[in-house]
Amino acid sequence: DPAVTVTLPRTAHYLGADRFVLTDPKMGPFDDCELHAFVEGDHGTVRKLYWVQFEAYLPTVPNIHHTYDSPRHAKLGGLDFYVDSWVSSGNAPPEPGSDTEHLNAVLKAHGYSRGDMMTVRLVHLPDAAKRTELMVIYSEALPPGLSANSLKKGGAAYARWPALEKGLIERATRAVKIEPLQK
């Protein structure tokens, strides 16, 4: 949910899927996730990452809803997506049990690792209940000579981030095609 076809560039290599339930120490199990990972890379290093994930809150937690608040939006296949972006260090450990930890396990199982990357997350909430989502994350390795720390606020190359971010979002929305399935 939602019923869509996701099409990625032919150069993206499918690594596989992982189905898991996210768990919070206070709340317990709360979110059913289905993750699909695709990469473009060289010798085990990810150059581009396409992470497609479907999520649905479990019936055991009826009072939680997604609360994305990004003011930026994009249309893919006529569907509205929240848009946010960031840079991250490839050696930063993921939160234990997180979906990022699951993604990293899929990458590692296929011999891939990530360096510093810039990322755009596109999230579609298919109905007013906001209990399911389609999330597409597109990441690229940073251009040579740049690091995640240099592009973060206060970093030496932070002034370059707006132009890099704009290009990243444009490439992501061109590369990822979403088509709702006909009912």
Query: Mapping DSSP to helix (H, G, I), strand (E, B) and coil, where does residue 54 land?
Result: strand
Q: Which residues pair with 48 in a beta bridge?
A: 40, 140
Say what the pLDDT of residue 88 is.
95
- What's the CA gap between 10 and 174, in Å, rounded? 13
> What's phi and psi for 96, nearest 5 deg?
-55, 130
Say what the pLDDT of residue 183 is.
66
Say what the pLDDT of residue 104 is.
95
Regions of the chain short of the pLDDT cut 70: 183
Query: Mapping DSSP to helix (H, G, I), strand (E, B) and coil, where does residue 145 land?
Result: coil
Element at 168 (helix H, strand E): helix 161-175
> What's phi and psi for 156, nearest 5 deg?
-60, -30
Say what the pLDDT of residue 1 is.
73
